[in-house]
Structure 1
Amino acid sequence: MNNSSTNDTVSKNNDKYILHSVENALSILDLFFTYEELSPSDVTRYLGINRSTAFRFLVTLERSGYISKTPGAKYRLSAKVSTLGQIAHNRMELISLIHPCLCRISDETGESSHLVIMDTPTHVTFIDKCVGTLWLKMDIMLGYTQYAHITATGKAILAHESDQFINQYIRSAEFEPQTPNSIKDVKELLHLLSQIKEQGYSCDSEEAEIGLTCYAVPLLSISGRPVAAISSSGPTTRMIANKEKHLQALRSAAEQIQKGLQ
């Protein structure tokens, strides 16, 4: 089968997963690349959908905060879209700065390294990685999210957050153990965060999955605020045997990265 036929088959297979209502809503947002303001009639004319449908899409987007209504009963993009764009830009800048360091960590240790940010008041998101070269490597899918206290990177970030942030986290997070080693309650978390802040690194000792261990260090801004965290992860036996090597690689990388963050 040639490449054209293969691509056509993949495209047809993907079509069945498309939500056309979402596709239409995104098409309306795309119109704002060209037009500063749009009315329901404008959307009807440009997209070929009826006016009542266009109006419902616009009201939904307004309620979600992506567009706002003008005194003239038209719609324009809201500041939320600008904020999302800035977030995307900042993430790309962060990844561009840090990815070479992740690769160096993986080259030095043979294990997988990850870049993680606190994406919500309770969850961290894995936004970049460099997969290790050794057997039984750890390979987390980019975009994966998890409660911060379940991951080494999340705990490294939490340990340097404000008391107000941590108190909010405690009120919102769920402490449901993933393994027998998982943090079980608030008291245990607070004790660990104090220890992590003092020693400068955190550890996931088979708390998320039996057989896997992870070491992490925070990346701090010039003001001391945690911007992200980097980690080295792999099978427990190898990680424990080479703990100091991992910590040295992580600390060295963090020191270099933080110079770029200032």
Structure 2
Amino acid sequence: MSDNPNTKYILHSVASALSVLDLFFTYEELSPTDAAKCLGINRSTAFRFLVTLEQSGYITKTSDSRYRLSVKISTLGQIAHNRMALINLIHPYLCKISEENGESTHLVIMDTPTHVTFIDKCVGTLWLKMDIMLGYTQYAHLTGTGKAILAYESDQFIYEYIRNVTFEPSTSHSIKDAREMLNTLNQIREQGYACDHEEVEIGLSCYAVPILSLSGRPIAAISCSGPTTRMELNRQKHLSALFSATEQIQKGLQ
């Protein structure tokens, strides 16, 4: 029996499909018969796994009914590589801010046309702190980091965003409609930073600054977060640290 407590959560059909995908580390092309022999399963089962992976875009079918990896796999690999490079570059700056100011810092990217994802963090040193789980996603307009990114996206991107989101406030401070969001984004562009003033949870606030490419496109955003009272009291200190870190990060991206 496995000692891993997560074993009970495994979906064996998914695990088997991934085992089929793993075969392509060794083989450039596979037929259903090849896959069945390699994994010790019957051909019809191997065929269903291959068709499922094909329909999901991870493999393609050749003219002679064999299967090979698709470009989507390469794209995913490049995305993973770029994220790791971004994390490796920015993580020391998150830690420096947290060590100096005591509050938690986060690195966030726009992972879909409507949601941001928290991909790195450095938890604050103070007793009462904010700790968001990595991989957490949220509508961009409900977070400081998301608004910092949205403010520097194209008009077309922003209007597509508005068409695809639901403005359901999490608290009384949340953005309630598209007009309010557009006004907020204009303000962010003017001041260079975004705020999340208890918009997701009462008692918690953050300041966020976008990371921009040479062309001015938003790549990500970093934030400093904590209890509202402390954040407001040290607002300028947090913003100075974020602006300083962003300046150095953007130099590193050049």
TM-score bracket, shorter-length normalisation: over 0.9
Deviations 1:120-179 (A, max 9, x none): 000000000000001210000000000000000000000000001101100111111100
Aligned counterpart, 1:185: 177
Letter in 2 for 1:10: D
Q: 1:165 aligns with which of 136, 157, 160?
A: 157
Aligned counterpart, 1:5: none
TM-score by length of 1: 0.96
Q: 2:199 aligns with which of 204, 207, 214?
A: 207
Aligned counterpart, 1:234: 226
Which whole-Å CA distance do the structure 2 matches of 1:47 and 1:240 have between them? 59
Q: CA deviation at 1:18?
A: 1.1
Q: 1:42 aligns with which of 31, 34, 38?
A: 34
Which whole-Å CA distance do the structure 2 matches of 1:173 and 1:80 have between them? 26
What are the equivalent positions in structure 2 for 1:89-104 lying under 5 Å apart? 89-104=81-96
Q: 2:8 aligns with which of 16, 31, 35?
A: 16
CA RMSD of aligned residues (A): 0.8
Letter in 2 for 1:229: A
Work out the percentage of aligned pairs sharing the same amino acid: 76
Q: 1:31 aligns with which of 23, 26, 47?
A: 23
Q: CA deviation at 1:15?
A: 2.2
Which whole-Å CA distance do the structure 2 matches of 1:237 and 1:14 have between them? 39
Q: CA deviation at 1:107?
A: 1.3
Letter in 1 for 2:77: G
Which whole-Å CA distance do the structure 2 matches of 1:42 and 1:78 have between them? 18
What are the equivalent positions in structure 2 for 1:104-119 lying under 5 Å apart? 104-119=96-111
How many residues were matched structurally? 254
Moved over 3 A (4+): none
Q: Which stretches in structure 1 are left out of the alignment for 5+ residues? A: 1-7
Q: Is 1:143 paired with 2:143?
A: no
Aligned counterpart, 1:3: none
Which whole-Å CA distance do the structure 1 matches of 2:178 and 2:201 have between them? 20
CA spacing shift, 1:34–1:9, aligned 2, 3 Å = closer
Question: Counterpart of 1:98 in 2: which secondary structure?
Answer: helix
Which whole-Å CA distance do the structure 1 matches of 2:3 and 2:37 have between them? 32
Aligned counterpart, 1:130: 122
Q: Which stretches in structure 2 are left out of the alignment for 5+ residues? A: none
Q: CA deviation at 1:14?
A: 2.5
Letter in 2 for 1:95: I
Letter in 2 for 1:237: T
Letter in 1 for 2:57: G
Aligned counterpart, 2:71: 79
Aligned counterpart, 2:54: 62
Q: CA deviation at 1:10?
A: 3.4
Which whole-Å CA distance do the structure 1 matches of 2:99 and 2:184 have between them? 30
Q: CA deviation at 1:9?
A: 6.3
TM-score by length of 2: 0.99
